[in-house]
C-alpha cells in the first residue's frame, strides 16, 4: 500500500478507499505531472501540488538534518 499510486493503475479505476489514499500522497501528483509532461498534455494543478510536496519534504528533511547535526556536534 505505501507505494500505491497512479504509476501502476489509473486512480479512476481504483476502489473508493484506495483511490482517496492514492490521490492524496506525494507520489501520485509527481507521477501525473511527469506523465503529462512526457505525453505533451496539459499539466494542470498537479505540477504545483508535486512542487509543494517536494518543498515540504525537503524542509522537514532539512530540520531533521540540522537537529541530527547539532546532536552529533554537541
- pLDDT tens per residue, range 44-66: 888 888 899 889 999 999 999 99
Residues 17-49 have pLDDT tens digits of: 877 877 777 777 888 888 898 999 998 888 888
Provide the number of structural domains found in the chain.
1
CB 13 within 8 A of CB 33: no
Residue 15 lies in a domain: yes
Q: What pTM value is reported for the model?
A: 0.59
28: Cβ contacts below 8 Å, ≥ 6 apart: 5, 6, 11, 22
| C-alpha–C-alpha distance, residues 29 and 46, integer Å | 5
Q: Is position 48 within any domain?
A: yes
Distance of CA 47 to CAs 31, 51, 64, 70, Å?
9, 6, 26, 34
In a domain, 60, yes or no: yes
| Residue 1 confidence (pLDDT) | 43
Range of the domain at 47: 11-73
Amino acid at each position: 500500500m505505501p507505494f500505491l499510486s497512479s504509476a501502476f493503475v489509473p486512480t479512476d479505476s481504483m476502489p473508493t478507499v484506495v483511490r482517496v489514499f492514492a490521490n492524496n500522497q506525494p507520489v501520485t501528483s509527481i507521477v501525473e505531472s511527469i506523465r503529462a509532461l512526457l505525453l505533451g498534455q496539459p499539466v494542470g494543478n498537479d505540477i504545483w501540488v508535486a512542487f509543494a510536496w517536494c518543498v515540504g519534504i525537503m524542509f522537514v528533511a532539512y530540520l531533521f538534518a540540522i537537529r541530527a547535526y547539532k546532536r552529533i556536534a554537541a
